[in-house]
Amino acid sequence: MSKKIYTKPERVPSHAGRVLKSGFIDQYELRIETVAELLGITRGHLSRIINAHSPVTPDIALKLEILTKTPASQWLTIQSKYDAYMMEQETEFKKYKEALNNWVVNSLPMPPQERRSDKKTQKLVTKAAGIAKQLGKKKNAA
């Protein structure tokens, strides 16, 4: 009889705005308008943050540090973990990761001179670069 190995499913990291809502706004029964005013942003902007449509940026994190007594670095860490997880779920990013891994496995071990002249390596670089540009365009459009 073989042992069953239980693995916990990966939990989606929380968006910093959702943490703000549940851990501060709801806890102290604050009005969204009041918090937005204290942060110096519009109610709509705060609404987009707490509904995970806009990120907590460094300037907002610094203001949150004063308001919540939670370090700005912690707000930014929460946000960056969420952002990285969401990007890793995108199909284009998965293609990029595969292309870049192919380059690392197949081309990086080669001596530099051979790597620079190898046609297969050049194709891998071109493919990875093209996907990376697409990711950049998609991010800038968002």
Whether pLDDT at 1 is above 70:
no
For residue 129, being part of any structural domain is answered with: yes
Residues near 16 by beta carbon (within 8 Å), at least 6 away in sequence: 49, 55, 56, 61, 75, 76, 78, 79, 82
Q: Tokens for 111, please give them.
A: 């001596």
Name the residue range of residue 47's domain. Answer: 16-83
Tell me the mean pLDDT in the region 100-127.
Answer: 91
Q: DSSP state, 142?
A: -
48-83 tens-digit pLDDT: 999 999 999 999 999 999 999 999 999 999 999 999
Do residue 35 and residue 65 come from a single domain?
yes
Whether pLDDT at 128 is above 70:
yes
Number of domains comprising the chain: 2
Which backbone phi and psi does 17 adopt, to 5 degrees? -65, -35
Do residue 54 and residue 96 come from a single domain?
no
pTM for this model (two decimals): 0.81
Whether pLDDT at 110 is above 80:
yes
Do residue 68 and residue 23 come from a single domain?
yes
Do residue 50 and residue 104 come from a single domain?
no
For residue 110, being part of any structural domain is answered with: yes
For residue 2, being part of any structural domain is answered with: no
Whether pLDDT at 126 is above 70:
yes
Question: What angle, rounded to 10 degrees, do the helices at 119-141 and 91-106 form?
Answer: 150
CA distance 142 to 139: 5
Do residue 124 and residue 75 come from a single domain?
no
Q: Residue 142's pLDDT is what?
A: 63
CA distance 129 to 138: 14
CB burial of 65-91 (b: ≥16 within 10 Å; e: otherwise) equals beebebebeebbebbeebbeeeeeeee
